[in-house]
Amino acid sequence: MTKDKIEKEVNGELVELVESTQIIPFVFSESVTETTLKDLRKQYPKKLKLDMSNDDDFKEARKIRTERNKITTAIDDKRKAYCAEVKVYSDKLIGDIDKIYTPYIEAFETEDKRRKDEAARIAKEREEFLSKQRNEIAQMGYFTEQCKGQNSQFIADTIEAVDLVDTEAFDKELIHEAIDTKKSILEALNNMYQAAKAAEAVEAEREQLRIQQEAIAQQERLQKQAQEIEQRINNLRNDPMNYFGKSSQEVMARIQQLENFTPSEEKFGDRTNEVTQVLAQVIQQLTMMHTQQSQVEQAQQAANQAQAQQIEQPQADVTQAADQGAATESAEQQEHEALTDVNRMLGQNEPLLGESFKSPVFESTSAPNDYTPLDVWPSSQDRANSDELDRICDQLALAESYIEMLEQRLNKALAA
């Protein structure tokens, strides 16, 4: 539809495409009018007059439908044709109008896009900032996880770190959440701290008890070890007494065994040097005993030989008695000299065992009074505190053993 056609159809007047009441008669004037519609309503009233079960009426109804389809199709075709012409014309008008408005619209749209992009950028940056702060708030919850199973000092340091968190630095949208989170974390950490302190106190008591028990056990072990060492030293110190009355060969064998023995710290601890000294003294005592026993054995052998000769070659009673007495006296003299040498070697500068020591065994031919051994001795502690006292006790014990042996021999000789 062109402008000329429009003016011709409306008698040279420009039609304004605004009011539908003006457009509809213009578009559909050749197809359907109000008069036509009235005629159709009269021809086909709402109350149905046809019987569809009747073939003639059914065929009439088909014709009516065909008539209806033709009219509606014509109206729709008219609408489509008119709309197409209107669209072409309207597109031209719109193009002309766009050319007029384009500089303003493009400038506006460019700025509008820039503002929207800037707003989107600001919104994105703010969301990233808020997300970072939300993550920082969430990370405060990790402090409680880190403190599980830790000691009180670690928890105390963590509490200090959480307490230093500045909640004022958070955005106003998140500041209340940060304050509440920090408060709850501190409460949880304080509870964990108190629990850890209580557990550590119990553990400290247990450790203290364990240390005390270990100290007691260690003291008992040291005491037992000291007693064992003391017993070993005493056994070594009293070893010569086990060889009284034994042969010189047995004594020499023991001397050689002790000379091959080297005291070790494993058995004697810090008293190893003392044991070395005691060992030297014991070897010296056994050496003297060996010398004495060798002399006694030689004297006994001489006496046995004299007695054997007396049995084989009887002599006069006087000669026999004189020889027997001489032999006995010779044996006793050798024994006396041997014991005297032993005593001299035991302590030349010791009053109790030196040359000034006088024994009734050697000074009198009559039966001596019974000797009473010393029944009260210094304690082991006193002897351990004084090397001189310990040495005197050792020599006194050896002297008493000698006295006992000599007393037994003398009583045996007197009984014979």
How many angstroms separate the CA atoms of 254 and 248, rounded?
Answer: 10
Q: Give the separation between CA 100 and CA 64, rounded to whole angstroms.
A: 54
Each residue of 268-301: pLDDT tens digit? 888 888 889 999 999 999 999 888 888 888 888 8
What is the average pLDDT score of the chain?
76
Amino acid 136 reads E
SS3 225: helix
pLDDT of residue 326: 52
Give the dihedral sign, CA 328/333/334/336: positive
**How far apart are alpha carbons 336 and 354 in whole angstroms?**
15
The pLDDT tens digits for 312-348 are: 655 545 455 545 555 555 555 554 454 444 444 433 3
What is the band of 408 on the pLDDT scale with cuts at 50, 70, 90?
confident
- Is pTM beyond 0.85? Reply is no
The burial of 383, by beta-carbon neighbours within 10 Å (0-12 exposed, 13-18 middle, 19 or more buried), is given as: buried
Q: Which residue has the tokens 């021809």?
A: 43
Locate 61 and state its tokens.
């109804």
pLDDT tops 70 at residue 80: yes
Is 328:303 a contact under the CB 8 Å cutoff? yes
Q: Which contacts (CB < 8 Å, 24+ apart) does range 271-276 have?
A: 271/229, 271/233, 274/233, 275/232, 275/233, 275/236
Give the span between the Cα atoms of 31 and 24, in whole angstroms.
Answer: 11
Range with the poorest average pLDDT among 217-231, 269-283, 367-381:
367-381
For 256-261, the CB contacts below 8 A with 24+ separation are 258/282, 258/283, 258/286, 259/283
pLDDT of residue 28: 58
List pLDDT tens digits, range 33-69. Answer: 667 778 888 888 877 777 888 888 888 888 888 888 8
Q: CA–CA separation, 83 vs 76, rounded Å?
A: 10
Q: Which of 337, 413, 373, 116 is nearest to 241 (CA)?
A: 373
Average pLDDT (372-394) is 78
260 and 279 Cβ atoms separated by less than 8 Å: no
DSSP string, 337-391: HHHHHHHHHH-TT-TTTSTT---HHHH-SSPPPPP--------HHHHHH-HHHHH
pLDDT at 367: 40
